[in-house]
A and B are shown apart, each in its own frame.
Chain A
Amino acid sequence: MFLEFLRGFFETLPRPSFAGHQNRRAGHLRRAALLAAFLVLTRPVRGDDPYFVTYSHHMEEPGNLEVGFNPSFAKPKGGNSFLGTLTEYEYGTRAWWTTEFYLEGAAVRNEGSAFTGYRIENRIRPLAGSHWINPVFYFEFEDINAANKSLKEVVGFDSQSDLAEPVSEARQEKERELELKLILGSDFKGWNLSENFVAERNLTHEPWEFGYAVGASRPLALEASPEECTFCRENFRVGLEMYGGLGDAHHFTARGTSHYLAPMVSWELPGGVTLRLSPGFGLTPHSVRTVLRVGVSYEIQDFGRKVRKLLH
């Protein structure tokens, strides 16, 4: 029914030609409509790791696009409760190279909401094959403001007082930063163990800041069942991650920094959508007491090739 509706809708759109400006515009409109329909109709496949902060060495499959929406809820001491949002678009450029783009926003109770910036990152896996420890290099440029509340990473002396700052003031403070990560990952008997070492620097001032994230996860079942199912154990993955700041280049220390411990569960639905949930608990007085993270993502197979086909 829906397919028929779409077919009918496309038939009503004029076909592109080189006859004139109006027809060219109609062509663009048709392509945009086809792309939108493609995004709706493409069969998504399963997501992978359940982590919110920790990166594993698993790369996005080449040509696939994963779209994710990851809101975080928290209430810092002395501030209003907030919702930090992170929308991610992860594309497998090559089997050894993944590119990701993030858009971020924040909504704070009694203060309103704001767009808080974007990030572009690339992950490169330098070694072919699978090893006991698999390194991945991560390079990110971020152009965000201090109202950002996505808590995508914790570095330096980040604390809950930063999150309590009023949005109207914090959004004036620009943060153009370069972030490097060394990601180490291992897979053993169904377990994934991942360790990240983070170095971040504001490009205009301030010293390098450091942080870490470690995580472990495992599916509830190691064997797949023969039929498609919703509540099978193989569709659930549980894990634990810990992350925090390690001071900066002047004071490399864990003192005065915030640290979090977060159990998590992910559920891969047969339709291909993955749901994730993680309550995180602050471990130091500088951390927010509780952060609740929710994630919804799906992966579009062979996205790159299909888009190229559509546009040619």
Chain B
Amino acid sequence: MKTSIRWVLKILMVLTFTSGFIYGAAPNHSDHFSNVPSSMLAKANPYSGHPQAVLAGKKLFDHHCSACHGRGAEGSGRAPSLKGDVIQYTAPGAILWFLKKGDLKHSMPAWSQLPEPTLWQIVTYLKTLP
């Protein structure tokens, strides 16, 4: 019995260290959009310019993102501002890709549980930010 507990503890240690290495290799903030697959870069936002999608995106942003990024996406101590050039000059497909995969090392959750149309609505809202 003691042997099997020892084995379990060994496995736990290996898993912990392995996950540490994987996260150690994760890109930093400046590299967020550097590895976007070309298929995602080419994706067009089906909701681009839809006022209803902007409103829906704002509602979703308030529910899921504002706690970290601030009510008006101005940023907080926990997450950066989403206003300004980075979002405006990044392809919509790249933002969608980043929302889906997150940046777990830097506390950005992966939002893959939200359906793609919902994520596009968030992207549509983000693109309206000044």
What is the interface residue range for chain A against chain B?
Answer: 35 or more
Instruction: Please give me the residue from chain A that is nearest to B102 by CB atom.
Output: A95
> Is B41 in the interface zone, CB < 8 Å from A?
no
Evaluate contact between B107 and A62: CB separation under 8 angstroms.
yes
The A-contacting residues of B in range 99-119, CB under 8 angstroms, are: 100-110, 112-113, 115-118
Instruction: Please give me the residue from chain A that is nearest to B99 by CB atom.
Output: A130
> Is A256 in the interface zone, CB < 8 Å from B?
no
Evaluate contact between B59 and A226: CB separation under 8 angstroms.
yes
Cβ contacts B54-65/A at 8 Å (1 or 0 each): 011101100110
- Tell me what chain A mostly uses at the interface: helix, strand, loop, or mixed: loop
Given contacts A189-B115, A223-B118, A301-B67, contact A124 B107 (CB under 8 A): no
CB distance from B63 to the nearest CB of A (A): 6
Evaluate contact between B118 and A224: CB separation under 8 angstroms.
yes
Bound complex: CA A227 to CA B117 (Å): 16
Checking B63, B101, B106 against A130 with a beta-carbon cut-off of 8 angstroms, the contacting residue is B101
> Is A96 in the interface zone, CB < 8 Å from B?
yes
The A-contacting residues of B in range 38-82, CB under 8 angstroms, are: 52-53, 55-57, 59-60, 63-64, 67-68, 78
> Is B129 in the interface zone, CB < 8 Å from A?
no
CB distance from B94 to the nearest CB of A (A): 14
Given contacts A126-B15, A225-B56, A226-B52, contact A94 B107 (CB under 8 A): yes
Cβ contacts A221-243/B at 8 Å (1 or 0 each): 01111111000001000000000
Evaluate contact between A226 and B113: CB separation under 8 angstroms.
no
> Is B5 in the interface zone, CB < 8 Å from A?
yes
Evaluate contact between A192 and B60: CB separation under 8 angstroms.
no
Evaluate contact between B113 and A48: CB separation under 8 angstroms.
yes
Evaluate contact between A227 and B55: CB separation under 8 angstroms.
yes
Checking A46, A124, A180, A190 against B115 with a beta-carbon cut-off of 8 angstroms, the contacting residue is A190
Evaluate contact between B112 and A137: CB separation under 8 angstroms.
no
Evaluate contact between B104 and A94: CB separation under 8 angstroms.
yes
Checking B1, B18, B112, B121 against A224 with a beta-carbon cut-off of 8 angstroms, the contacting residue is B121
Specify which chain B residues have a CB less than 8 angstroms from the CB of A180 in the assembled complex. Answer: 8
Specify which chain A residues have a CB less than 8 angstroms from the CB of B56 in the assembled complex. Answer: 223-226
CB distance from B119 to the nearest CB of A (A): 10
Given contacts A189-B116, A223-B56, contact A137 B15 (CB under 8 A): yes
Checking B1, B19, B53 against A96 with a beta-carbon cut-off of 8 angstroms, the contacting residue is B19
Specify which chain A residues have a CB less than 8 angstroms from the CB of B109 in the assembled complex. Answer: 59, 61-62, 95
Given contacts A124-B15, A128-B22, A190-B115, contact A223 B121 (CB under 8 A): yes
Q: List 7 A-B contacts (CB under 8 A).
A: A45-B63, A49-B113, A62-B109, A95-B108, A130-B102, A223-B115, A226-B59
Known A178-B5, A208-B4, A234-B118; 19 more pairs at CB < 8 Å: A95-B102, A95-B103, A95-B105, A95-B108, A96-B105, A125-B104, A128-B26, A128-B101, A128-B102, A134-B112, A187-B113, A190-B115, A192-B113, A223-B56, A223-B121, A225-B56, A226-B55, A228-B59, A305-B78
Residues on B close to A: CB < 8 A? Answer: 1, 4-5, 8, 12, 15-16, 18-19, 22-23, 25-26, 52-53, 55-57, 59-60, 63-64, 67-68, 78, 100-110, 112-113, 115-118, 121
Residues on A close to B: CB < 8 A? Answer: 45-46, 48-49, 56, 58-59, 61-64, 94-96, 124-130, 134, 137, 139, 178, 180, 187, 189-190, 192, 201, 203, 205, 208, 219, 222-228, 234, 301-302, 305
Q: Which 5 interchain pairs have the tightest Cβ spacing?
A: A226-B55, A190-B115, A222-B115, A129-B101, A126-B19
